[in-house]
């Protein structure tokens, strides 16, 4: 199998930054790439917010966290970032047009040895493989948010993905503390999102139709299932930017007017106001102490 030592994470948003830090924590040299200095600065601030969670959730020492941070580099030059990379993990916006353009550019400058993995939430890797220039070294590697705690790694190849490359990614996932979940065939949304998206979509439609407010919808789910979090709390964790791209694509594909109404509300009232979910301190709820975690919420 291919030996992986150096990793590039393209896309420094919530999940990209988590993937990068989790990999650095387990000893890999990691370069985080994004398109401008502003995005890189946001990534550094994001990573600072992860550190207390690693301490409280995993009891990792400050010394070990600092050592991991020192293994991170940042770059706004894709050519510089991918130089000598054994693995590039792409975590850029959930737009097929943006991703295709990215891979067309990447294919021209990445070393021949570099494996490409997309963290797309909903797109099939086969939709992107021709742009990579190396379909045998391309597959999907999908992580859940709060990667240090929800340590799933769904691995999904195409009919052209090399079995050796697939197995290399299984072993890589194990090496960074993930539980690898190999898929035998392509499935939009993998396993996790195939199960999760209908729940989130139903919650969104209930709100968009005016059936109930956000807290009532979440309270109903939490009371009825024993879940510690409802659909809108989950949406805040996922990140409203990602949610916007996913549901905008779905609304346009299906022509669902109620979903498009919600997409517009999401953009105008939340995203444009900088309310992006847990990562920004506010989304549908305010953080770090959202009302759904209050002792009286379910009464």
Active site residue 80: no
Q: What is each CA distance from 90 to 9, 84, 102, 120, in whole angstroms?
A: 6, 16, 9, 8
Residue from 23, 145, 193, 280 carrying the catalytic annotation: 193
Closest-CA residue to 153 (of 294, 15, 277) = 15
Tokens of 218: 């979440």
What is the three-state SS of 144-204?
CCCCCCCCEEEEECCCCCCHHHHHHHHHHHHHCCCEEEECCCCCCCCCHHHHHHHHHHHHH
CB 33, CB 17: distance < 8 Å: no
What DSSP state is assigned to residue 268? I
Active site residue 154: yes
**Cβ within 8 Å of residue 187, ≥6 positions away:** 156, 194
Strand pairing report for 152-156 and 138-143 = antiparallel
What DSSP state is assigned to residue 113? T
Q: Calculate helix-pair angle for 37-58, 14-25, nearest 10 degrees.
A: 60
Question: Residue 130, class by beta-carbon neighbours within 10 Å (0-12 exposed, 13-18 middle, 19+ buried)?
Answer: middle
Residue from 154, 245, 279, 282 carrying the catalytic annotation: 154
Backbone angles phi, psi at 288, to 5 degrees: -90, 5
The verdict on whether omega for the bond into residue 277 sits within 30 degrees of 0, i.e. cis, is no
Q: Look at residue 142 and give its three-state secondary structure.
A: strand
What is the spatial distance between Cα 127 and Cα 158, in angstroms, rounded to a whole number? Answer: 10
Tokens of 260: 């498009």
Residue from 43, 119, 121, 280 carrying the catalytic annotation: 121
Residue from 17, 90, 142, 245 carrying the catalytic annotation: 142
What DSSP state is assigned to residue 278? G
Q: Which residues are catalytic?
A: 121, 142, 154, 193
């Amino acid at each position: 199998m291919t030996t992986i030592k150096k990793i590039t994470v393209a896309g420094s948003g919530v999940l990209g930054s988590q993937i990068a830090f989790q990999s650095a924590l387990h000893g890999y040299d990691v370069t985080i790439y994004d398109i401008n200095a502003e995005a890189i600065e946001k990534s550094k601030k994001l990573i600072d917010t992860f550190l207390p969670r690693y301490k409280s959730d995993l009891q990792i020492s400050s010394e070990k966290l600092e050592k991991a941070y020192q293994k991170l580099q940042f770059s706004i030059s894709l050519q510089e970032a991918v130089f000598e990379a054994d693995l590039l993990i792409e975590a850029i916006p959930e737009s097929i047009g943006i991703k295709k353009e990215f891979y067309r550019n990447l294919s021209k400058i990445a070393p021949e040895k570099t494996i490409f993995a997309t963290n797309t939430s909903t797109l099939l890797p086969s939709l992107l493989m021709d742009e990579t220039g190396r379909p045998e070294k391309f597959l999907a590697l999908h992580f859940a948010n709060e990667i240090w705690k929800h340590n799933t790694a769904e691995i999904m190849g195409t009919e052209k993905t090399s079995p050796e490359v697939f197995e290399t990614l299984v072993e890589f996932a194990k090496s960074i503390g993930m539980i690898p979940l190999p898929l035998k065939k392509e499935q939009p949304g993998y396993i996790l999102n195939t199960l999760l998206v209908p729940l989130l979509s139903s919650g969104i439609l209930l709100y968009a139709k005016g059936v109930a407010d956000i807290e009532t919808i979440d309270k109903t789910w939490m009371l009825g299932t024993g879940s510690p979090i409802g659909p809108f709390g989950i949406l805040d964790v996922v990140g409203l930017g990602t949610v916007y791209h996913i549901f905008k694509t779905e609304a346009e594909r299906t022509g669902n007017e109620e979903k498009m109404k919600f997409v517009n509300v999401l953009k105008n009232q939340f995203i444009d106001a900088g309310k992006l979910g847990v990562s920004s301190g506010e989304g549908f709820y305010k953080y770090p102490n959202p009302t759904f975690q209050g002792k009286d919420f379910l009464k």
